[in-house]
Amino acid sequence: MPAALPALDDIRIAVIGLGYVGLPLAVEFGKRRPVVGFDIKPARIEELKAGRDSTLEVEPAELEQAERLQFTTDLEALRSCNVYIVTVPTPIDEHRRPDLGPLSAASHSVAQVLSRGDIVIYESTVYPGATEEDCVPVLEQGSGLRFNEDFYCGYSPERINPGDRQHRITSIKKVTAGSTPEAAELIDALYASIITAGTHLAPSIRVAEAAKVIENTQRDVNIALVNELALIFNRLGIDTEDVLTAAGTKWNFLPFKPGLVGGHCIGVDPYYLTHKAQSIGYHPEIILAGRRLNDAMGSYVASRLVKAMLQRKITVNGARVLVMGLTFKENCPDLRNTKITDIIRELEDYNIAVDVCDPMANADEAAEHLGVRLSEPEPGAYDAIVLAVGHRQFAELGEAGIRRLGREGHVIFDLKHLLPREAAELRL
């Protein structure tokens, strides 16, 4: 006989992985029911116990409000839980193939404390089928329990937008799914207890997985289209923003803008879908074309800057360029999959000395994970300045503050349109 599910009021949650996704989720649940937040990084647990969140997603006051939340690196502390929510990263490797290593490791850890009647819910972005085909076997092997007989699974894709103070976890509608109808209903009710925007119960885990992976694939393809349009309009001598503003007067025109596509979602998720498609014998055309175009934008930015410097008779070999911003998006410390490094490496190939400043980024993480040394800008030292990320600190400097950093005759490339149109020589 299949194991009985826990009653909603008796659920004790463990959140596995306390990053940008896991911590806000653990905090919301911790305001209402017992939650154990688990992470393999002792430093992360220590800062959270001290009431600090280095991702800046959760304020100290919010951490205090989660009175029923405890943090630990001890796997045994999870044994009293009966619902395990896995929120670990799902990156790609150097060959742009899905890296399920963190997901597999988290599943192995959960398997060691899994008991009969428990539920394991995955929030990490994966390709359709990954939960049941890749994660469940790890759970079964490690626990000795049988799927949908002794334990159950669910999937509820994360929709966290780092740095976004308006769209928070509770105000974004949540997709849910379960491995049996009964498990699905319980999982949906569990999330509905904290999500004020409501939930959408998908008919299967595979449907929920597919829904998540196409959300960012759709955005990636649309941004690729606008990036390609920007390349065309630049050759035609037309301002891309003017074109988009004019086209945007039509009620159903989608308001996408050109730019670099980095981060842990849009620049990664499409590769999960294309990997699965290729495994069943289908070669995606549009999705991969969009990925190639977006991945080439850093090189395009660097080449345009160098051309503008040459036109101003600035000696490129040995020149100094300041790149302002390193994180993958504005007002956020997240460095994952940032494409600013593509600009830096391309400029360095021209034998240009590149300084990088970013008030939001962690200098140690930048050096360790990206090989980029952050520094304070040197006034009057630069032949060119790239406004790469739209941090509020840069916007507050204004044109005069940014111009003071450059030498006479320097070039500004404003990727984020932080300055008035006439204040920058180059824009996307």
Query: Whole-angstrom distance between the N-terminal and C-terminal Cα of the chain?
Result: 62
In whole angstroms, what is the distance from residue 351 CA to residue 286 CA?
35
How far apart CA 317 and CA 383 sit, in angstroms, is 11
Task: Give pairs for 142-149: CB < 8 Å, separation 24+.
Answer: 142/107, 142/108, 142/110, 142/111, 142/112, 142/114, 143/111, 143/112, 143/114, 145/114, 145/116, 147/179, 148/2, 148/179, 148/180, 149/2, 149/3
Of the candidates 81, 135, 265, 332, the residue annotated as catalytic is 265
| Token pair 């799927």 in the structure block, residue | 147
In angstroms, the CA 136 to CA 124 distance is 14
CB 327 within 8 A of CB 370: no
Comparing CA positions, the residue from 129, 126, 29, 123 lying closest to residue 69 is 29
Structure tokens at 220: 């990636």
Indicate if 265 belongs to the active site: yes
Please report where in the chains the tokens 């300041």 appear, as a residue: 322
> What single DSSP character describes residue 313?
T
Torsion-angle region of residue 422: left (phi > 0), alpha (psi -120 to 50) or beta?
A: alpha
Asked if 314 and 384 touch (Cβ cutoff 8 Å), the reply is yes
Handedness of CA 324, 327, 331, 333 (dihedral sign): negative
Annotated catalytic sites, by residue? Answer: 265
